[in-house]
């Protein structure tokens, strides 16, 4: 994760909130992983909480938070169906986490859960990889340099019918091999807009990621912004 530009993503999230002319206080990071961006947003003055399906990710997020000056509430929960003790002003989900929801009904469940747990007027901002990314072999990556501590060689198999890519990720940690299989479903703008509208969201916009430009035919990732009616 060292190469992931979390600092830039944090700045971009704040820019998107400014684009919505909205200054939330409480923000939920959905599929927060180990909480790197969650912590950076706490640094920006937001009262953060996070959820993730993986108990291992949440354990690591809590371990990192134990030495932090912010009290971040982390919980193991499923993005497709969750309920918070208190509604929040805003929710976000970055790093194509929602592409892990392999059926549109799961994405619909996520949108319904976010809507339920947002205060009126609340903001919902997330990103999704597109089919273009998978068709153009975004996940075919490797670093097999002799000097690399973690070597990896990834290969994706894209199925245009199901719109699911299956990525076989071979790793070598200090030359010890292990393999992970990751699956993501590609979602396109019209499908996502329809699901957001069906959940009740308004003021729906999509941008070519890390810009304020509209989506292009060759966008590999889009950021979506919307609001719960006030």
Residues in the site for ligand SAM, rule: CB under 6 A?
Answer: 31-33, 36-37, 52-54, 57, 78-80, 94-95, 97, 100
Smallest distance, Å, CB 146 to ligand SAM?
Answer: 28
Say if residues 109 and 194 touch (Cβ distance below 8 Å). Answer: no
In the complex, the smallest distance separating the C-beta of residue 3 from ligand SAM, rounded to whole angstroms, is: 12
Smallest distance, Å, CB 51 to ligand SAM? 6
Nearest-10 Cα torsion for 174, 180, 185, 188:
0
Q: Which is nearer to ligand SAM, 52 or 89 (CB)?
A: 52
165 to 139, 152, 158, 173, 208: CA distances (angstroms): 9, 18, 4, 25, 21
Q: Residue 113: left (phi > 0), alpha (psi -120 to 50), or beta?
A: alpha
Closer CB to ligand SAM, 20 or 36, in the complex: 36
Q: How far is the CB of 174 from ligand SAM (least distance, A)?
A: 23
Query: 6: which DSSP letter?
Result: H
Contact 28, 117 (CB under 8 A): yes
Q: Which is nearer to ligand SAM, 17 or 57 (CB)?
A: 57
Pick 60 or 121: Cβ nearer ligand SAM:
60
Do residues 31 and 51 touch, judged by C-beta distance below 8 A?
A: yes
In the complex, residue closest to ligand SAM by CB: 33
Quick one: 31 or 41, whose CB is closer to ligand SAM? 31
- Measured in whole angstroms, the distance separating CA 104 from the mean position of its chain's CA atoms is 16
Radius of gyration of the chain (CA): 18
Please state, in angstroms and rounded to a whole number, the distance separating the CA atoms of residues 222 and 161. Answer: 21
Closest approach, Cβ 197 to ligand SAM, in A, equals: 22
For the record, the structure tokens of 16 come out as 């998107």
Task: Identify which of residues 31 and 196 has a Cβ nearer to ligand SAM in the complex.
Answer: 31
């Amino acid at each position: 994760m060292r190469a992931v530009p979390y600092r830039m993503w944090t700045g971009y999230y704040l820019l998107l909130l400014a684009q919505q002319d909205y200054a939330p206080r409480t923000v939920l990071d959905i599929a927060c992983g180990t909480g790197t961006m969650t912590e950076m947003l706490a640094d920006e003055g937001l009262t953060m909480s996070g959820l993730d399906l993986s108990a291992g990710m949440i354990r690591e997020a809590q371990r990192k938070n134990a030495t932090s000056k912010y009290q971040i509430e982390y919980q193991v929960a499923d993005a497709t169906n969750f309920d918070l003790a208190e509604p929040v002003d805003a929710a976000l989900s970055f790093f194509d986490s929602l592409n892990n929801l392999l059926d549109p009904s799961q994405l619909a469940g996520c949108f319904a859960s976010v809507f339920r747990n947002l205060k009126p007027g609340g903001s919902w901002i997330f990103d999704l990889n597109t089919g273009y990314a998978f068709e153009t072999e975004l996940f075919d990556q490797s670093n097999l340099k002799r000097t690399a501590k973690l070597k990896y060689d990834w290969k994706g198999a894209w199925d245009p019918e199901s719109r699911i890519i299956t990525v076989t990720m071979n790793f070598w940690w200090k030359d010890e091999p292990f393999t992970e299989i990751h699956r993501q479903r590609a979602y396109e703008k019209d499908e996502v807009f329809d699901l957001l509208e069906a959940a009740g969201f308004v003021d729906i916009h999509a941008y070519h990621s890390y810009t304020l430009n509209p989506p292009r035919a060759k966008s590999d990732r889009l950021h979506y912004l919307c609001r719960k009616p006030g």
